[in-house]
Amino acid sequence: MANFEYTLAHMTFEQLNIKTKASNLIGDLRFDYERIDFKQFTDKVKVSANFKNSYVQLSELNAFYDEFGTNQKANLNVDLSGTLNDLFAENLIISTTRNTNIIGDIKFQNLFNGADNNFIMEGRYKNLSSNYSDLTALLPNVLGNSIPSVFTNVGNFRLNGTSIITNRNIDADLKITTDLGYVQSDIKLTNIGDINNANYEGNIVLEDFDIGTILNDPLVGETSLNLDLKGKSFALENLETNIKGNVTYLEYNSYRYNGIAVSGDVGKNIFNGKLNTQDPNIILDFNGLADMSQEIRKFDFNANVTYADLRALNFVTRDSISEFRGIVDMAVTGSSYNNLRGKINVKKTSYKNQDKRYAFEDFAILSSFDNEERTIAVNSPDIINGQVQGKFKIEEIIKLAENSLGSIYANYKPHKISDGQYLDFNFKIYNQIATIFDKNLNLAQNTIIKGRIETDEKGFELEFISPKISFKDYIATNVNLEVDNNNPVYNTYLEVKKLDSDIYNVSDFSLINATKRDTLFIKSEFNGDSSITSAGVEMMVKQNYSNFGVVFTSAIGAAVIEGS
C-alpha cells in the first residue's frame, strides 16, 4: 500500500506500508534512474528511502541478501541513499528480539555484487550494544567471521566508534564498555578468513578489565594497561604477539602490582623480552626468556630485584617482614624439580625478616645429570658449600631420611617411597642459613654434614660436626654426631665437649646406642657441675614388649629401675 508515481526518470512510493507474514515496512521509497540504468540496477539506480517504526523478520531478507541469521526480528528506523551496491544507511536505529541494539550510520559497498573479496561495510556507531552470540547470529557470515571467539567471555558490551570490514581486513577504532571492564582499541586486522588466527596491529587500552576471566586463570584479576601490539591469533594457545607499553596495574595472587613497563614477545606460554616494575613493594628489572610452551620448560633470564616485599606480595606468610634484594641469573630447563638442569646464580643478595637483615655476596646452584645420576652443587661462601649426588626424587628426600633414621626402631612404620633411590651428600654449612629459618639457631663456621641415604633402610650414614651450636639459652661446643645403620658396634654416637644452659651445665657428654634384634641399648656418660661430678646412664629397651631396664650411676650412688 502506497502513493505510487512512475516517470521515465523516477519511481516514488510515498506513505509506503508493506506487510508480509512477519514484517512491516512503513515509510517512503524513491528510485532515480535513466532507463538504461536498469541493465545494471544494483549499481546504477539510485535509491532514497526512510523507514520509521518498522519491523523486519530478518530471514525474509535472505531472498535479497543471503547473509542474515534466522529466527530474529528487528525493529527498524533508517534513512537510505545511494545504490544497492553503494548504500548509505543514516540515522540507523535497530533493536532485535535478542539483545542487539544499533544506533549509527553504516555504508555498504558491493552488497549485491557476486564477485569475491569486494564487500565493504563501513560503520560509524553512536551506540552498539550486544553480546558475542547475539551479534554474530545477526550476520553469521559477515560478523561471525569478523569477531574473534575470545569475545565469548566478554559478556554484554556497549561500544561506539568506527569500523571498516571487508572480506579480508578489519580496521576498527572503538570504545567498548563490557561486563569485564572498559576497552579502547585502534587495531587493524588482516587475514580474517580464519579470524581466531588473524594478524593484527595497533593499540589497545584496558581500564579496570577482568583479564583473569579471559585467561581462565583464578590467580589473575583486573588490570589497566596501554599497549601497542603486533601479532597473530586471538586463540590463547596459538597467540604470537609483540607488545610494548605500560601496565598501570595488574592484580595477581591477591596483590595489585603498579607501574609496570613491558616490551617483548608474548604467546604460546612464552615471554621473551623486558619487564620493569616500579611498585612500592617490588622494584624489578627483568630481561630474558620464560618459555613454558613445552613439557620441558626453559628459563634464561637476568632479574635485578632492587626491592621485593615477599610478604606484601603474598609469597611468604611465615615471617611478618620478608624483604628480598638481589640479582638473579637463571639458565635452566626442566618440567619439574626432578629433571631440572642448569645454573642459578644469585648475587649481592640480602634478606630481611622481623629479626635481622642477612647479606649474601654470592649464591650459585648447579644441577647436572650423568645418565640417571644427578648432581646438585651449591656454592656460597656465606651460606653453604657442597653437593648431593645420586638417584633421588626431590619430594621424597625427607621421607627417605625419616625411613633411614626410623629403621633403628623396630616399631617404626616407614613411608611408601619409590625404589632404587640413593644420595651421597657433603656440605659445609655457615652461620647465616640457620638463623634465616630460626632466629634462635646459630651454627659456627665450618659446620659439616655429610653421609649417604638409600632406599635400603640399612644404607643410612650421617656425620655432623660443628665447633659450636647455640639455640636460645643452650650452647654446645665441639659437637660430633655419627649415625650408621650398618655399623655392627653402634648405630648412633654423639659427643659434646661442653653444654651450657641456665639450668644445668654438662661437659664431656657422650651417648651411644645400638639395636640388637628387638632390643635398643643406650649408654650415656657426662660430667656435671659441682654437685654431681660425673654421671652415667645405661638403658635397655625391649621394643616389642616394652620391657626396659635402667641403670643410673653417679658419684653419689646408683639406682636400678625396671618396668614395663
Q: Check if the beta carbon of residue 257 is closer than 8 Å to that of residue 288.
A: no
- Is 283 a domain residue? yes
What is the tens place of the pLDDT at every residue in 361-412?
Answer: 888 999 999 998 999 999 988 788 999 999 999 999 888 888 887 776 667 7
Residue 562 clears pLDDT 70, i.e. is over it: no
What is the structure's pLDDT at 535? 57
Residue 180 clears pLDDT 90, i.e. is over it: yes
Residue 550 clears pLDDT 60, i.e. is over it: no
What is the structure's pLDDT at 541? 55
- Is 563 a domain residue? no
What is the tens place of the pLDDT at every residue in 439-462?
Answer: 778 888 889 999 999 887 667 889
Region 85-107: mean pLDDT is 91
Beta strands in 338-403 (DSSP E): 341-353, 357-370, 373-379, 384-391
What is the structure's pLDDT at 236? 75
Which of the residue ranges 117-131, 144-158, 171-185, 538-552 would you say has the lowest mean pLDDT?
538-552
Question: Residue 283: which of 323, 317, 251, 319 has the closest Cα?
Answer: 323
- Who's near 209: CB < 8 A, 6+ residues apart? 178, 180, 181, 182, 183, 222, 223, 224
- Is 443 a domain residue? no
What is the structure's pLDDT at 558? 47
Give the predicted TM-score (pTM) of the model.
0.74
The residue type of 217 is D
- Is 559 a domain residue? no
Q: Mean pLDDT over all residues of the chain?
A: 86
Question: Residue 186 region, left (φ>0) first, then alpha (ψ -120 to 50), else beta?
Answer: beta
| Banded model confidence at residue 219, pLDDT cuts 50, 70, 90 | very high
What is the structure's pLDDT at 143? 65
Residue 10 clears pLDDT 80, i.e. is over it: yes
For residue 41, the surrounding DSSP H or E stretch is helix 41-44
What is the structure's pLDDT at 44? 93
What is the tens place of the pLDDT at every residue in 308-355?
Answer: 999 999 998 888 899 999 999 999 999 988 999 999 999 988 888 888
Residue 543 clears pLDDT 60, i.e. is over it: no
- Is 513 a domain residue? no
- Is 438 a domain residue? no
- Is 381 a domain residue? no
Pairing of strands 535-542, 474-484: unpaired
What is the tens place of the pLDDT at every residue in 40-90?
Answer: 998 999 999 999 999 988 777 766 666 676 777 889 999 999 999 999 999
How many domains does the chain fold into? 1
Residue of 534 and 546 predicted with greater confidence: 534
Region 521-543: mean pLDDT is 66
What is the tens place of the pLDDT at every residue in 29-43?
Answer: 999 999 898 889 989
What is the structure's pLDDT at 1? 66
Residue 477 clears pLDDT 80, i.e. is over it: yes
* Opening angle at CA 207, ends 202 and 209, nearest 5: 100
What HEC string does 256-316 produce? EEEEEEEEEEEECCEEEEEEEEEECCEEEEEEEEEECCCCCEEEEEEEEEEEEECCCCCCC
What is the structure's pLDDT at 564? 46
Please tell me the distance from the alpha carbon of residue 11 to that of residue 49, in angstroms, as a whole number: 12
Residue 530 clears pLDDT 60, i.e. is over it: no
What is the structure's pLDDT at 380? 87
Residue 248 clears pLDDT 60, i.e. is over it: yes
- Is 434 a domain residue? no
Which of the residue ranges 79-93, 218-232, 281-295, 510-524 would you say has the lowest mean pLDDT?
510-524
Domain range for 292 is 269-370
What is the structure's pLDDT at 366? 95
What is the structure's pLDDT at 344? 95
